[in-house]
């Protein structure tokens, strides 16, 4: 079978090619983006083309191929902050957290006001067990981009891990102002409220989660704890029993 001819581009057309590829990645059409980019010599010789290709591979669940593309982008343009940041995410996917952190630090050194790099840095720090530093990184991301809901959400969970339920509650409330029906934020909020000995409010928060996901084991645990505090013993037992059944079926419970 004859292989498709590799594509070239007239001067000025590469920007249109890269914009189209980025649009394909943004709309979830990763395979099409990969196919178009890998057949285009000009795109492969362009740092942005390699960065887009890396993101397409990354979102396709291929971190090794993604890492190779990001390395190619940086060989072409060593001072490319987006490629350093994306490379860090690929390293995280490969379980190389220390190297990922170094990549995010490099991206931030090149562009201090880079919310996504600060957010990803927080994720790497949290994975490395450095929760206090992770909170600072998430805080920086949220200050730079106040509508960055994931930064507030992850900051809340990091604060919960540090035993700071009151501060965590504020972070989850910020996330919910941005996305009122966000189940993860409601779960975090319910957990914080339960730890703050506010069982009625905690129950309302996790019931909002369970309305859309009745088998959410973590929400069922919080529900059982809140019902116990409210002395609704029979309902609490049912929630705890259901949580045990659900969590036993998850990979972590096997």
Q: Which domains does the chain have, with CATH numbers?
A: 1-112 (1.25.40.10), 115-180 (1.25.40.10), 198-254 (no CATH)
Question: Which structure tokens are listed for 85?
Answer: 């940041």
43 in Cβ contact with 59 (< 8 Å)? no
| Partner residues linked to 40 by β-bridges | 7
For 181-216, write each residue's pLDDT tens digit: 999 999 999 999 999 999 999 999 999 999 999 999
pLDDT-derived band at 12 (thresholds 50, 70, 90) equals low
Flag whether pLDDT at 5 surpasses 60: no
Query: What is the per-residue pLDDT for 248?
Result: 77
Flag whether pLDDT at 29 surpasses 50: yes
**What is the model's pTM?**
0.88
The mean pLDDT of 153-169, rounded to a whole number, is: 98
Query: What is the per-residue pLDDT for 179?
Result: 96
């Amino acid at each position: 079978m004859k292989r498709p001819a590799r594509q070239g581009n007239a001067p000025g057309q590469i920007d249109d090619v890269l914009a189209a590829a980025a649009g394909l990645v943004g709309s979830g059409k990763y395979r099409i983006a990969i196919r178009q980019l890998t057949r285009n010599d000009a795109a492969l010789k362009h740092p942005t083309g390699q960065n887009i290709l890396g993101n397409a591979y990354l979102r396709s669940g291929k971190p090794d191929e993604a890492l190779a593309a990001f390395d190619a982008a940086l060989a072409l343009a060593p001072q490319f902050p987006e490629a350093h940041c994306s490379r860090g995410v690929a390293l995280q996917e490969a379980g190389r957290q220390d190297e990922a952190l170094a990549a995010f630090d490099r991206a931030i050194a090149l562009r201090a006001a880079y919310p996504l790099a600060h957010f990803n840095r927080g994720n790497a720090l949290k994975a490395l067990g450095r929760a206090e530093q992770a909170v600072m990184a998430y805080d920086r991301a949220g200050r730079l981009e106040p509508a960055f809901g994931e930064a507030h959400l992850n900051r809340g969970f990091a604060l919960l891990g540090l035993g700071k339920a009151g501060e965590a509650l504020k972070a989850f409330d910020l996330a919910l102002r941005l996305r009122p029906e966000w189940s993860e934020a409601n779960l975090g909020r319910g957990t914080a409220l339960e730890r703050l000995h506010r069982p009625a409010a905690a129950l309302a928060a996790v019931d909002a989660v369970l309305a859309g996901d009745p088998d959410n084991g973590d929400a069922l645990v919080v529900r059982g704890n809140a019902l116990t505090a409210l002395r609704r013993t029979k309902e609490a037992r049912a929630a705890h029993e259901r949580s045990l059944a659900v969590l036993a079926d998850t990979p972590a419970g096997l």
